[in-house]
Amino acid sequence: MDKINFFPDNLNVQNQKIILRLDFNVPLRNNIIIDDTRITSCLPFIKKLIEKKAKIIIISHLGRPKGIKDPAFSLIPIYKYLKKKLQTNVYFFMGNIDDEIKDKFSYLKEGEVILIENIRFFKEETENDENFSKKLASLGDIYINDAFSCSHRKQSSVHKITRFIKKSFAGPLFKKEIDAINLVIKNKKEPVTCIIGGSKISTKIDVITSLIQKINNLVIVGAMANNFLIYKNFSVGKSLIEKNTKDIIKKIYDEAKKNNCEIMIPEDCIVGTSFDGDGKNKNLDKIEKNEIILDIGFNTLKKIKQIIDQSNTVLWNGPAGYFENENFLKGTMSIAESISKNTLENSLISILGGGDTLAAVNMSKNKLSFSHLSTAGGAFLEYLEGKDLPGLSVLK
């Protein structure tokens, strides 16, 4: 496999115009940033480029405005945030990306930053339009993609832009993501345990079957586990399930048997009659028709903790229950605390991925420690699956 072209620390970028593709797709409420994790993780590299006297042009997206200039998806709150955090002139560009765009950016001085308004306001971005990519590329001398989370998409600012610029690199955050996932799939320390949660199994079938060939234990939690319980002939009441998963699950068990991978599914659970009520612990054979499985049970949790204690590498994607209600947060939080404890005390390699997983972990009142937290979602899963991501292949 060709090596990825990572940005070299010793490259002289003084007076060079750098196009920096970042992921500022952060949650907003009433134009206020609710979680700034994605921005704060980008700041050290931006500051480093400022120190090196580069001219920095930042491209990012927010949400899915579908090519329409929708104020609800404006990057203005992010621009204000950067202005406060960076000790330099920060500009905001809201104009069109046309043939005159290069001239519009000519005022940028060394060590200054310009943020372009939401790149998805232009439909050409998601269409991976060649002409649009060429105009974007004309802005800079060097292109750096530090948005691994967007690199599974064939879009102008992560894909075709690289055709029209001489030097293209992956940034330090991009490298961190790749290195972390490679600890699970390439340079692994066994036993490797994967805890997979969330609701849909159909969207994760490929990643699960791919992972089974590389890991020792697969722990299924969350609403996804309900399908496995049905497969084992248990009743799950009114719990969330997916139709027609029997063949998918059979394939997972067959693959696991072939690769000596142990599969663990819940043996008890916390059930309630509604999502906003409270719950009680029940064995699987005691679930009634009007009940919903909303978290993993005490015995299941005990078993998962034992597996974590015996592992050297843990990958976790997807919460264990309906964590939005704190009555059903215990399973997720206990897994997080167990992984954190082993990371600190036993040098466990721990990699957490997915927005819901991170949102749940952030609800902890204690400071938790993990080897790597990935905000990359879809790209994280596709790379785990072994796919060559479009935004990554152009950086080789």
Which are the catalytic amino acids?
A: 38, 200, 355, 378
Residues contacting 41, CB < 8 A, separation 6+? 173, 375
Structure tokens at 138: 């004309």
Structure tokens at 95: 């104009």
Per-position DSSP letters for 136-171, written without gaps between them: HHTT-SEEEE--GGGTTS--TTTTGGGGGSSEEEE-
Tokens read off for 123 = 């439909």
Q: How far apart are CA 276 and CA 117, in angstroms?
A: 39
Strand order in the sheet with 349-353: 262-264, 217-220, 192-196, 313-317, 349-353, 372-374
Beta bridge partners of 282: 269
Give 67-117 as a DSSP string.
TS--GGG-SHHHHHHHHHHSSS-EEEE-S--STTHHHHTTTPPTT-EEEES
Nearest Cα residue to 318 out of 349, 367, 285, 352: 352
Q: What angle do CA 234, 236, 237 make, to 5 degrees?
A: 130
Distance (Å) of CA 14 to CA 22, 225, 268: 20, 54, 61
Burial letters 353-373, b for 16+ CB under 10 A, else e: bbebbbbbbeeeeeebebbbb
